[in-house]
Amino acid sequence: MHQHEFLAKGPIHAASLVQSGEYLSSERYLHILIPNGWSDELRAALVIQGECWGIASLYRQQGKEPFQKRDIQAVIDLTPSLAAKLRDEIFNKWATEDDDAAEQQGFLILTTHYKLLYGNETGLHWLRTFQTFEQIHDQAVMPRPFRALGAKLFYTAVPIKQQQASQECLRGSFFPFKPFDWRRLTGRRRLS
């Protein structure tokens, strides 16, 4: 499968798992997509002027036609405008948000079913930011990037066991959020 980094740096910024021809030998396809009711995944890097501003993964339900070349081309055609919109929203949000919340280290702890167990103020700030961006109104619903990262962690991580053998195995995810300087990342100054 085409990794997002490869898509961001390569000449083509979108690809489908089925169209790549490697899906039958893909661990991700066999152990994550199929068990969750998906038959194909289309990944895209939202690139404009050589800079990647985000990533997207689109899924096709089982029983429906896999993504076709025309679907991939449609996504490729849309990525520059989506990247520009995302870039503008990021800078607008950054220019208006409370600096204290954005510059502190945050974290969230989720169950294997993506239920929030605990989060500090900054982690909860970023959770609300992602929920708002995805127009999620139910606070119990985790944004797609959190679920995608959680699925990857659950699939590849060894379960964390509590010390006492009589207690049930505890599994979950720890999501750290580190502050970073947009000016250093992008070479741009903060919007006024």
Domain extent listing, the chain: 4-96, 99-183
**Residue written as token pair 């379960």:** 159
Q: CA-CA distance, 57 to 19, in Å (whole number)?
A: 15
Structure confidence at residue 95 (pLDDT): 61
Q: CA-CA distance, 103 to 66, in Å (whole number)?
A: 42
Contact between residue 186 and residue 146 where contact means Cβ atoms under 8 Å apart: no
Amino acid type, 179: P
Q: CA-CA distance, 141 to 114, in Å (whole number)?
A: 8
DSSP code of residue 119: E
Q: CA-CA distance, 85 to 123, in Å (whole number)?
A: 24
Would you give the distance in Å from CA 148 to the centre of its chain? 6
Q: Which residue would you say has higher pLDDT here, 60 or 152?
A: 60
Per-residue confidence band for 174, with pLDDT thresholds at 50, 70 and 90: low
**Residue written as token pair 């605990």:** 118
Q: CA-CA distance, 75 to 14, in Å (whole number)?
A: 7
Q: Which residue would you say has higher pLDDT here, 9 or 165?
A: 9
Nearest alpha carbon to residue 175 among 103, 108, 101: 108
| Mean pLDDT confidence for 171-191 | 47
Structure confidence at residue 189 (pLDDT): 44
Residue 85: its H or E element: helix 69-96
**Model confidence at 98: pLDDT above 60:** no
